[in-house]
Amino acid sequence: MSAYAAAVHETAPTPDDSDLARRIAAPRGDAEAETELCRRFAPRIRLYGLRHLRSAAGAADLVQDVLLVTLQKLRAGALRDSGKLASFILGTCRQMVIDGRRGAHRRERILETFSASLPELAAESGPVPDSQRLEHCLARLAERERSVLIMTFYDDRPADQVGASLGLSPGNVRVIRHRGIEKLRLCIEAQEAP
Amino acid sequence: MSEPVCIRAIPTSGLLDYWLGDDVAAEAAVEEHLMGCVHCSARLEALVRVARGIRRATRAGHFHGVLSASFVAALRGDGLRVREYHVPANGSVACTVTPDDDLVVSHLRAPLRDVQRLDLVFEDLPSGTELRMSDVPFDPAADAVVLAPDVAMLREFDTGLRRARLIAVQDGAERELGSYTFDHTRFAGPG
């Protein structure tokens, strides 16, 4: 647990994030920095939203809401420690998911103010692998790997639920799941290579 | 601006545990890392895309494999049109697949309590070909194995017999638990 937390400081692009934050907070603002901030954080906020809301539409709304609040704070110079931008954004994600959606009226009003700064926030993340390629690779997996991946990812079931219906322990499911997804990923990448 | 490489990347197993809620204790730390790390968040995003592809293939019936009865019930509950056959050991069933079917599954009845490893052999008798599915997952407490053949393959079948056999494997020896004959009629269309 602590290893992951420590890695934030070692791996996060802290100087760049800080620089973006300072440029946005400057008296004249910086549209380019705002666009870069949105480009950088929108995919991560979307992932957070998908993980907690299990809804593409809900995740897209969360991206927009969190970035709006972040830009507001930065423009107003209200984010004191610009080096903790990622932590601020994560905290905002958590709060918004806990609190539920903000009122539609307020959201609309903020959107009118900031709409020019928010490029393609609701867009889906990258494309799903080609169907035929994925099915070809799925067919090449071991039987247990294929069954576990299908029953896991059809509706994102945890290991204990999948294991209970297949006579496998949760630990066994996690091992099979990890091995299967790695094989599948490598197979798809090999097929995609020119 | 260049993006730094992560020197303490979350392993794939950790990303999967986070995504599927299998390690609640690590969740907050993983989220801190992901929000600050373009490398690991991109890896998770790639896994999520593959997961979406698996979901799409499942809904289309474009896979072959063994599932659980409860999973099939969940698919049906989600609105998928599932054609189901229940076949006793050494029994037979008249079967088909229509354009309306999303998925076709067969519940192959067999005593599984003492089985350690289970293989499933699917024979296409008209062509003389067979597919051996080695070490399929099964619940020893259940009384059936649920086989889901690729619907696209089923649609290509001409009228004729197919057979499945469940084989228990232990210490190199094989024991047939049951043979299941499918008297398949190719869908000829309405009228």
- Domain span at residue A172 reads 131-192
A124 within domain boundaries: no
Question: How far apart are alpha carbons B101 and B112 in whole angstroms?
Answer: 29
A51 within domain boundaries: yes
Q: How far is CA B57 from the centre of its chain?
A: 11
A96 and A28 within one domain:
yes
A105 and A29 within one domain:
yes
Domains in chain B, please, with CATH? 12-59 (no CATH), 62-184 (2.60.40)
pLDDT of the residue at B146: 98
For B136-174, how does the pLDDT look when each residue is reduced to its tens digit (9 = 90+)?
A: 999 999 999 999 999 999 999 999 999 999 999 999 899
Chain B nearest C-alpha distance from A110 (Å): 24
The CATH number given to whatever domain includes residue A149 is 1.10.10.10
For A66-125, how does the pLDDT look when each residue is reduced to its tens digit (9 = 90+)?
A: 999 999 999 998 887 877 899 999 999 999 998 775 454 455 555 555 555 555 554 556
- Mean pLDDT estimate for chain B: 94
Domain end among A89, A117, A145? A117
What separation in angstroms does the CA of A88 have from each of A66, A69, A82, A84, B170? 10, 10, 9, 6, 57
Q: Do B48 and A170 touch (CB under 8 A)?
A: no
A61 and A112 within one domain:
yes
A31 within domain boundaries: yes
Q: Do A128 and B52 contact (CB within 8 A), yes or no?
A: yes
Q: Do A47 and B17 touch (CB under 8 A)?
A: no
pTM: 0.86
A108 within domain boundaries: yes
Residues of A in contact with B42 (CB under 8 A): 43
Question: How far apart are alpha carbons A24 and A32 in whole angstroms?
Answer: 9
A112 and A140 within one domain:
no
Q: Is A64 on the interface with B (CB under 8 A)?
A: no
Q: Do A150 and B65 touch (CB under 8 A)?
A: yes
List the one residue out of A25, A50, A48, A47 whose CA is nearest residue A37.
Answer: A25
> pLDDT category, B3, cuts 50, 70, 90?
low
**Interface pTM (ipTM) of the complex?**
0.94
Domain end among A62, A90, A117? A117
A51 and A18 within one domain:
yes
A6 within domain boundaries: yes
Name the B residues in 71-110 with CB < 8 Å from any A CB. Answer: 71, 74-75, 78
Domain end among A90, A117, A144? A117
Q: Is B171 on the interface with A (CB under 8 A)?
A: no
